[in-house]
Amino acid sequence: MDHAATATPATAPHEEHQQHPIKLYLTVWVWLFILSVGSYMVDILQFQGLLRWGLIVTLMLLKAGLIIAVFMHMAWERLALSYAILVPPVLILVFVAMMAIESSYTEWMRVFFLSGGT
Amino acid sequence: MNDTGATQPHAAPTLEPGFKGIVRDWSSDQRSFKTASWGKVMMWAFLLSDTFIFGCFLLSYMTARMSTTVPWPNPSEVFALEVFGVHMPLLLIAIMTFVLITSSGTMAMAVNYAYRRDRKRTTMLILVTAFFGAMFVGMQAFEWSKLIHEGVRPWGNPWGADQFGATFFMITGFHGTHVSIGVIFLLIMARKVWRGDLDNARPGFLTGRKGRYEMVEIMGLYWHFVDLVWVFIFAFFYLW
């Protein structure tokens, strides 16, 4: 069975056996290095404000995307699986929005009623 | 469980791409995930649940940091190191990041060689991955003892908001535990590969499931996830 699966790699619709050239992994590895150096430089160069947050989040998402897509082989999975795994974490973003509102409110309460206190 | 022979005949012609494929897969009889084995799907399901755990940790960190009126300690300075008299902000964290990324790279290659049935290279690469993982945990232990020595506690620290220590120990501690478990997992798998358990379909001592080379990929998913979580911790906790 395994011989049949490896003999027709291009036409068979993605079998359970992942086979890609090593070069692909090395390329991704180099890119992860470059992106990590990039996010480290954000701190070294002391970028501030919107530029800092923008760069940090962009580099983070690029790195996460590369790891999930290539290292974890998500790019070659059926969309049924990809969506089942990648869509639910969106709920965390909803939670983030809720807690951001909540914590701003808490901070306002602290400033207002605890006279800037702890 | 399902050998390729069972899926092969109907797999090729009926699987549709795109969004229509998602609907077809999900509404079809028997199994939604046509090409992924159940072992892989279960690992993904576990990783999804772990995503929510780490998501909640980072979320509580955000809430603590946003709601406090006391300034948050500057991570760039807190995690700085003096190397040969030169002040390097975040140096240790940067090295830890590179070590973990490298271990992810060697893991990906181990999976690749596992599917080529290259026992020697697979074992070596898994061991290299485990080595980098152990190195990461070692550096984390160094970082923890340094901060504890400087007076960081879960209930306070010398530089600012009290919640800093609590969130730091919680998040990095949980992540470090994941890495440590991963290293143990890797060592067990290296032994299995080296002994030929995956070639001979030898039953595992705990679950009794027969060894097969996909196990390396499934373990790889876990390891890459640990790296993935670090990407987010690095961005939100250390750089923010």
Structural domain boundaries in chain A: 2-77, 88-118
d(C-alpha B48, C-alpha A88), whole Å:
8
Residues A43-76 have pLDDT tens digits of 888 888 889 899 999 999 999 999 999 999 999 9
Query: Please, what are the domains in chain B?
Result: 1-35 (no CATH), 37-239 (1.20.120.80)
pLDDT at B191 over 50: yes
- What's the confidence (pLDDT) of residue A117? 54
**CB of B239 within 8 Å of any CB in chain A?**
yes
Mean pLDDT check: name the lowest of A114-118, B124-128, B193-197, B211-215: A114-118
Query: Is B165 in a helix, a strand, or coil?
Result: helix
Query: Is B89 in a helix, a strand, or coil?
Result: coil
Average pLDDT over residues B151-166: 90
- What's the confidence (pLDDT) of residue B130? 96
ipTM, two decimals: 0.86
The values of phi and psi at residue A114, to 5°, are -105, 20
* First-to-last C-alpha distance (Å) of chain B: 46
> What does pLDDT average to over chain B?
89
Residues 28-87 of A with CB under 8 A from B: 28-29, 32-33, 36, 39-40, 42-44, 53, 56-57, 59-60, 63-64, 67-68, 70-73, 77-81, 83-85
- What's the confidence (pLDDT) of residue B12? 52
Decide if B186 contacts B149 (C-beta within 8 A). Answer: no
Ranges of chain A whose pLDDT falls below 50:
1-15
pLDDT at B7 over 50: no
Tell me how far CA of residue B105 lies from CA of A52, A66, B99, B118, in angstroms.
Answer: 28, 11, 10, 17
d(C-alpha B197, C-alpha B2), whole Å:
19
- What's the confidence (pLDDT) of residue B119? 92
- What's the confidence (pLDDT) of residue A17? 63
Residues forming beta bridges with residue B157, ordered by sequence position: none
Chain-chain contact of A18 with B36 (C-beta, under 8 angstroms)? no
d(C-alpha A19, C-alpha A37), whole Å:
29
d(C-alpha B139, C-alpha B135), whole Å:
6
Element (H, E) at B120: helix B119-149
Higher pLDDT, B12 or B87: B87
**CB of A89 within 8 Å of any CB in chain B?**
yes
Average pLDDT over residues B100-120: 93
Residue B121 exposure: Cα atoms within 13 Å on the Cβ side: 13
Element (H, E) at B87: strand B86-88
pLDDT at B8 over 60: no
pLDDT at B123 over 90: yes
Mean pLDDT check: name the lowest of B78-82, B144-148, B194-198: B78-82
Average pLDDT over residues B40-44: 94
DSSP line for B19-71 = HHHHHHHHHSSS-S-SSS-HHHHHHHHHHHHHHHHHHHHHHHHHHHHHH-SSP
Question: Distance from B79 to chain A by nearest Cα, in Å?
Answer: 12
pTM: 0.87
Give A12's DSSP letter.
S
pLDDT at B96 over 80: yes
CB contacts of A9 in chain B (<8 Å) are: none
- What's the confidence (pLDDT) of residue B122? 95
